Amino acid sequence: MNRFIQIIDEVSPTTFTVLVHFQGEPLMNPNIFEMIGYASSRRMISEMATNAMLIDEEVSKQLINSGLKKIVITIDSPIEREFGFYRRGGKLGGVIEGIKHIQQARRDKNSRYPLVVVELLALKGNVDQIKEFVGLCKKLNVDGIRVKTAHLLNLDDAENKVPMGTKYSRYKVANDGSIALKGNGSSSCSAPWFKLSVTHDGWVVPCCFDKSSTFIMGTIITQTIREIWFSHHYNNFRRRLIRNRNELPVCSSCPQGRTPLDFHIG
Ligand code: SF4
């Protein structure tokens, strides 16, 4: 918590938003409400992405009291019997209850926040459920509905994983029959100029696509964000990205700037 406070103190004068998730489930963090509350006290906008499996009445109240501004909840299937396939051990009914708890807590507090956005990760098995998903979200009267396209670390078997041939796939079958990312391979990416990501163990990486910490820019354990942000190492990464993103392993397979990452439906 102390480290989080230090970071927020350092970045809040020049940074607008903090996303309190990066791989893993943020509601499993015992300090999460305190962290969001501290960011709110420093006038930062906080957002969270969660599977909502831990949201009950009490958690909803704490989220509202913390000042959270947006919560993104994943529902990968609007069909109860299929939901557990995408969220092992999860129950669609439980997630719906979680959404209702948040909406009730907002009403009790007479607050507009957090805005509730519900998302479906489009895969080959659930792409034909999108209409039903949108219908469910509308019935729940959520603030935003979106369909996210899936990112694959390994393209083997891609045709059985993502809905190839639809707009909800980041990938296409190339002329030579191989699977390739859609879009222009030399498109630019501006991520390392306006954001960074911190892993649970303190490593700073340029963006949330670097899930395996391939490009470590520094560590918050021994460095300030300013030292990392303006370091020769970070600037060198930015230069390499401008010169040719395809030289960089994660960037070459990254869809940022090439193809839509999500579709906002309502
Ligand atoms: S191209 Fe992708 S992986 Fe590389 S810095 Fe940009 S967002 Fe991150």
Q: Distance of CA 82 to CAs 46, 86, 129, 169, 224, Å?
A: 31, 7, 10, 21, 45
Confidence of residue 177 (pLDDT cuts 50, 70, 90): confident
Ligand 1 center from residue 245 Cα (angstroms): 8
Mean pLDDT of 215-240: 96
Per-residue model confidence as pLDDT tens digits over 118-133: 999 999 999 999 999 9
The predicted structure's pLDDT at residue 249: 87
CA distance 243 to 186: 10
Q: Which amino acid is at 123?
A: L
Identify the residue whose C-alpha is closest to ligand 1 atom 8: 207
Report yes or no on whether pTM surpasses 0.85: yes
The predicted structure's pLDDT at residue 183: 86
Task: Check if 196 has its Cβ closer than 6 Å to any atom of ligand 1.
Answer: no
Ligand 1 center from residue 164 Cα (angstroms): 23
Q: Is the pLDDT of residue 155 over 90?
A: no
Beta-bridged to residue 144, according to DSSP, are 117
The predicted structure's pLDDT at residue 91: 92
Three-state DSSP class for residue 56: coil
Q: Tokens 């390739």 sit at which residue? A: 180
> pLDDT over 70 for what percent of the chain?
100
Candidate from 215, 245, 247 with most ligand 1 atoms within 8 A of CB, to mutate: 245
Task: Give the pairing type, strands 218-219 and 197-198.
Answer: unpaired
Per-residue model confidence as pLDDT tens digits over 21-61: 998 899 999 999 999 999 999 999 999 999 999 999 999 99
Task: Check if 96 has its Cβ closer than 6 Å to any atom of ligand 1.
Answer: no
Task: Check if 251 has its Cβ closer than 6 Å to any atom of ligand 1.
Answer: yes
Tell me whether the omega of the peptide bond preceding residue 114 falls within 30 degrees of 0, making it cis.
Answer: yes
CA distance 210 to 219: 15
Task: Check if 206 has its Cβ closer than 6 Å to any atom of ligand 1.
Answer: yes
> pLDDT over 90 for what percent of the chain?
79
Ligand 1 center from residue 135 Cα (angstroms): 34
Per-residue model confidence as pLDDT tens digits over 58-86: 999 999 999 999 999 999 999 999 898 88
Ligand 1 center from residue 143 Cα (angstroms): 29
